[in-house]
């Protein structure tokens, strides 16, 4: 088959962070692409991004995710990055296209060794030990919401701060340092949305940005080196303690690996769960009957949580590089080519989900791919589900009804997306 190449306007739509804020037109576009050219070459008309293959079918995203020998994360950026950003990362790191050396930018043999260190900690059995702490955070969060009522924006009050507190707690970052951590993460990943990017980096030159990013990497590394030292002296039960005392091939983690690990958990663990939490609340606020039903029958909460994760698909893509010539859906991919696993498109594939745009809490076989699959499958997936379940149980205990009080707005972002405002009106019990 001849390589299908996207029309320039299609290429722009796939790359543009604003398309992901608009959402429905993007889902329409993915439906068209998936039906006609499920593996489609995207060439940026301005050449500011290197070309890549857009993968839109659920079965193809699944297959590529699970084949970690053929499709690698480390040689090319693991998240869509423009050429200038990639050059900047290579310049800062001395060759790597990924600014932070962490689980998502590594391959075997180092990746499984690092991952093994915390894998057990993130399993449901261990998470039971922190359930009471999470419940306490959920309670405080809902206290704040109720105090601000009967009308409030759910995002800044609940869905943004709650997962951030949880993840900071497991990393051992005291509450007074949270704003600093948030600011550093924003500096490193330079938000694509003007409302969310509070770092003022929008109009800076590449040299200025590289200075800021370098400063943030240094700050993070120093901060977590100190924290690790403290945990070596006073071990606790948190992830911080495991990493501080962990070894690979008999050696402690070097400061860059340590910082990379803390950064990936901090960064991967908050915006993502924020987005699915806001998505679940949107679904409930739009459907008062569903709210009443799940309030009366808590066995439905797990289905609401899982469907919210599919329906919102907070992580919208990850990238891979083909490590050999390979065929996907009849299209020949060359060794070295870059591929976009588009989880939004895959989670709206009608071959896998009936009426994919519908929020259907009782879906059986909800085989969504919002957490990825294979060796890199989300390390925090049990934690994300647990946090959401605990929060919604608290909300259902303490609110009698919820409805929309204005137009929700999505953030401009190609990578982690979701609502940036969700005005609700509610009645506390």
Q: Is 272 in the site for ligand HEM (CB under 6 A)?
A: yes
Query: DSSP letters along 288-334, please?
Result: HHHHHHHHH-GGGHHHHHHHHHHHH-SB-EEEEEESS-EEETTEEE-
Minimum distance from residue 258 beta carbon to ligand HEM (Å): 14
Interface residue with ligand HEM among 158, 160, 285, 315 (CB under 6 A) is 315
Tally of CB atoms within 10 A around 17: 17
Q: Which C-beta is closer to ligand HEM: that of 228 or that of 315?
A: 315
Token pair belonging to 404: 């929309």
Give dist(CA 427, CA 149) in Å, integer: 8
372 binds ligand HEM (CB under 6 A): yes
Question: Which of 98, 187, 273, 414 forms a contact with ligand HEM (CB under 6 A)?
Answer: 273
219 is written with which tokens? 């700050």
Q: Based on the shown chain and the rule CB under 6 A, indicate whether residue 276 belongs to the binding site for ligand HEM.
A: yes
Rounded Cα distance between 240 and 224, Å, is 9
- Are 375 and 68 in contact by the 8 Å Cβ rule? The answer is yes
Using an 8 Å Cβ cutoff, are 344 and 317 in contact?
yes
The verdict on 130 binding ligand HEM (CB under 6 A) reads no
User: Residue 8: enclosing H or E segment and its boundaries?
Assistant: helix 8-15
Under 8 Å between Cβ of 239 and 118: yes
Judged by CB under 6 A, the stretch of 174-182, 271-279, 352-360, 419-427 that binds ligand HEM is 271-279
| 319 interacts with ligand HEM by CB under 6 A | no
Candidates 100, 217, 264, 331: give the one binding ligand HEM (CB under 6 A): 264
- Window 393 to 422, contacts with ligand HEM (CB under 6 A): none
User: Shortest approach of ligand HEM to residue 65 CB, angstroms?
Assistant: 5
Alpha helices in 234-300 (DSSP H): 239-245, 255-286, 288-296
Q: How far is the CB of 340 from ligand HEM (least distance, A)?
A: 12
382 binds ligand HEM (CB under 6 A): no
Question: By C-beta, is 393 or 403 nearer to ligand HEM?
Answer: 393
Q: Give, as ranges, the residues between 49 and 68 that touch ligand HEM (CB under 6 A).
A: 65
- Interface segment toward ligand HEM; rule CB under 6 A; list 181-189, 281-289, 344-352, 370-378: 370-378
Torsion of CA 342, 310, 384, 229, to 10 degrees: 0
* Segment interacting with ligand HEM (CB under 6 A) among 27-35, 191-199, 216-224, 268-276: 268-276
* DSSP secondary structure string for all residues of 117-133: HHHTTTSHHHHGGGHHH
Among the candidate windows 5-13, 48-56, 195-203, 269-277, which touches ligand HEM by CB under 6 A?
269-277
Among 30, 52, 318, 426, binds ligand HEM (CB under 6 A): 318
Q: Among residues 172, 246, 380, 408, which is the contact residue for ligand HEM, using CB under 6 A?
A: 380
Contact between 265 and ligand HEM by CB under 6 A: the answer reads: yes
Burial class (CB in 10 A: 0-12, 13-18, 19+), 51: middle
Out of 11, 167, 281, 390, point to the residue binding ligand HEM (CB under 6 A): 167
Radius of gyration of the chain (CA): 21
Instruction: Return residues touching ligand HEM (CB under 6 A).
Output: 65, 103-104, 115, 167, 264-265, 268-269, 272-273, 276, 309, 314-315, 318, 370-374, 376-380, 383-384
């Amino acid at each position: 088959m001849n390589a299908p190449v996207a029309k320039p306007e299609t290429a722009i739509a796939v790359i543009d962070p604003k398309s992901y804020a608009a959402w429905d037109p993007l889902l329409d576009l993915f439906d068209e692409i998936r039906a006609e050219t499920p593996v489609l070459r995207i060439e940026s008309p301005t050449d500011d991004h290197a070309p890549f293959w857009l993968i839109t079918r659920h079965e193809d995203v699944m297959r590529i995710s699970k084949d970690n020998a053929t499709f690698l994360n480390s040689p090319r950026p693991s998240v869509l990055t423009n050429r200038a950003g990639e050059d900047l990362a290579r310049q800062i790191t001395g060759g790597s296209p990924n600014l932070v050396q962490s689980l998502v930018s590594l391959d075997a043999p180092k990746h499984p060794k690092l991952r093994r260190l915390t894998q057990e900690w993130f399993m449901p059995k261990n998470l039971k030990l922190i359930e009471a702490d999470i419940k306490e955070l959920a309670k405080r969060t809902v206290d704040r919401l109720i105090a601000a009522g009967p009308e409030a924006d759910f995002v800044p009050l609940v869905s943004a701060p709650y997962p951030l507190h949880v993840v900071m707690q497991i990393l051992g970052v005291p509450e007074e340092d949270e704003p600093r951590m948030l600011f550093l993460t924003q500096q490193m990943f330079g938000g694509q949305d003007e409302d969310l990017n509070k770092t003022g980096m929008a109009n800076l030159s590449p040299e200025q940005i590289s200075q800021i990013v370098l400063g943030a990497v240094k700050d993070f590394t120093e901060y977590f080196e100190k924290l690790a030292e403290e945990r070596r002296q006073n071990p606790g039960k948190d992830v911080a303690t495991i990493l501080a005392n962990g070894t690979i091939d008999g050696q402690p983690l070097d400061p860059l690996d340590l910082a990379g690990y803390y950064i990936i958990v901090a960064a991967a663990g908050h915006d993502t769960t924020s987005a699915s939490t806001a998505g679940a609340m949107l679904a409930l606020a739009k459907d008062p009957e569903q709210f009443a039903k799940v309030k009366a029958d808590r066995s439905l909460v797990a289905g609401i949580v899982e469907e919210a994760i599919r329906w919102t698909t907070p992580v919208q893509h990850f990238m891979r590089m083909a490590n050999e010539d390979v065929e996907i859906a009849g299209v020949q991919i060359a060794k070295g080519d870059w591929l976009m696993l588009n989880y939004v498109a895959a989670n709206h594939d009608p071959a896998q989900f009936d009426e994919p745009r519908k929020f259907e809490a009782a879906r059986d076989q909800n085989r969504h791919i919002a957490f990825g699959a294979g060796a890199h499958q989300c390390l925090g997936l049990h934690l994300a589900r647990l946090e959401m379940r605990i929060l919604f149980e608290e909300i259902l205990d303490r609110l009698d009804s919820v409805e929309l009080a204005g137009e929700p707005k999505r953030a401009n972002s190609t990578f982690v997306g979701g609502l940036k405002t969700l005005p609700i009106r509610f009645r506390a019990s």
